[in-house]
Amino acid sequence: MSDGISVGLNCPACGGAISMAEGENVVLCQYCSSVLAAEGDQGVHTVAFKNKTLKDAAMGASQHWWTHGLKARDLKTTGKIVESYPIYLPFWKTTTRVAGWVCGYEERRHTDQKGNVTVERIPKEVMVLQDFTFSEIACDPGDLGIRTMKNFMGETTFANFEEIPTFESTTSKDAAATRGLNDSLAKARANAHVPQVTLDTLKAFNKGLTLIYYPVWVVRYNYRDRMYMDTVDGVTGQVLSGRAPGDPLFQSLAMTGGTSVGGLIAAAGIIYAQSASDMRIALGAVAVGAIILFLTYRFFRHGSEIIQGEFKEKKSIASALKQVQQVGKALEGLR
């Protein structure tokens, strides 16, 4: 459970400097060998990561980010940084141990040459004894596009607190702890890979709850009279989230290419199916063509702005694939 997070304290017996790691409530004083215990807040620690990224480095990381992906090609030359400043964002971080068994079975369907379907039931029992980490932002992130911590390693200090604006924690620690437990149980169940569960004895134990203040650079920039923003990790110097202008050329190329490829696949499938007298090939080809068209449309529709990060309204690939699955199911229903 070593993750580099600890907090500095003083020994009440000798005054010597001691540090207590996250989740611990007992520490030994290296000077007088006294055993010391944390009391009062059930071991909830508050730590702050040191801001190690300088202003120039944060701006450089932003400008480097502009050149990647399907962003406007002239962003690097036309974009202009208006301001950049660091802030401290609060995060809850929980460590949870999950122990127990997940038992059940998996069903595998086999179809023979005559079309007869047989279902094979494979019993499964999986032991879980594992620690899980969960994090979530402890305030309203607004339009920053940051909801979870990506990095848990770094030097901790409160030295930057005087000079960097700090967002206060506004969410409940008990609610965060509960979400941490539920998230860990869900991850453990998913990792067990038991599709049909008949016995679930999983139990989650809270091993630590920490309030972490994490430094983030906010970089605002201008592109063709429109304002955009991205954020840079104050510890690692990597871009965490941001919005950037897309490129109309990429949108047009995608539209042209996507419709052509999708149409050709569908047409080729139908022609081949007629010669092979197998309508399943035609339906499959039409489905593939429709999926390509759908993805093309999505890129054309949302490609005017490239979004990276955990925005609420972000149209992720996962949500697009979900929609594709729904389209696929609808097509299956038509068959």
Partner 1 sequence: MKIVQVKCPSCNQAIMMKEKDKLFYCDKCNVMHIREGGAPEKVDFEIAEFSPKAQGEKVYMPFWRLYTTFIVRSKNVEGGTIFKMSQWLKGGSDSGNMFIYIPAAELDAGTFRKFSTMFTGAAPRYPTRLNFNNVRRLPGTLPKQEAAQLADFVVVTMEAEQPGVLQKLDYSLTVNDTKLVYLPFVMTPQGPMSAL
Q: Which residues bind partner 1 (CB under 8 A)?
A: 7, 9-13, 18, 20, 24-28, 33-45, 99-101, 103-105, 123-125, 127, 129-130, 198-199, 201, 203, 205
Q: For residues 273, 277, 280 and 281, what is the CA-based torsion angle, rounded to 10 degrees?
A: -20
Secondary structure (3-state) at 87: strand
We find the least distance from the C-beta atom of residue 9 to partner 1, in angstroms, to be: 5
Tell me whether residue 197 or residue 267 sits nearer to partner 1 (CB atom): 197
Nearer to partner 1, 197 or 255 (CB): 197
Shortest reach from residue 307's CB to partner 1, in Å: 39
Say which residues have a Cβ less than 8 Å from residue 124's Cβ, sequence separation at least 6.
102, 103, 104, 105, 106, 193, 194
CB of 318 to partner 1, least distance (A): 31
φ/ψ of residue 181, rounded to 5: -65, -45
Please tell me the distance from the alpha carbon of residue 300 to that of residue 108, in angstroms, as a whole number.
Answer: 39
- CB nearer to partner 1: give 15 or 248: 15
Q: Which is nearer to partner 1, 33 or 116 (CB)?
A: 33
Strand bridging mode 305-308 / 45-48 = unpaired
Q: How far is the CB of 174 from partner 1 (least distance, A)?
A: 17
Distances (CA, A) of 7 to 93, 223, 252, 331: 15, 42, 54, 57
Choice between 40 and 333, CB closer to partner 1: 40
Minimum CB–partner distance for residue 12 and partner 1 (Å)? 5
- Residue 167 phi/psi, 5-degree rounding, is -80, 125
Q: Which is nearer to partner 1, 161 or 205 (CB)?
A: 205
Q: How far is the CB of 100 from partner 1 (least distance, A)?
A: 6
Angle between helix 248-276 and helix 279-302 axes, rounded to 10 deg: 170
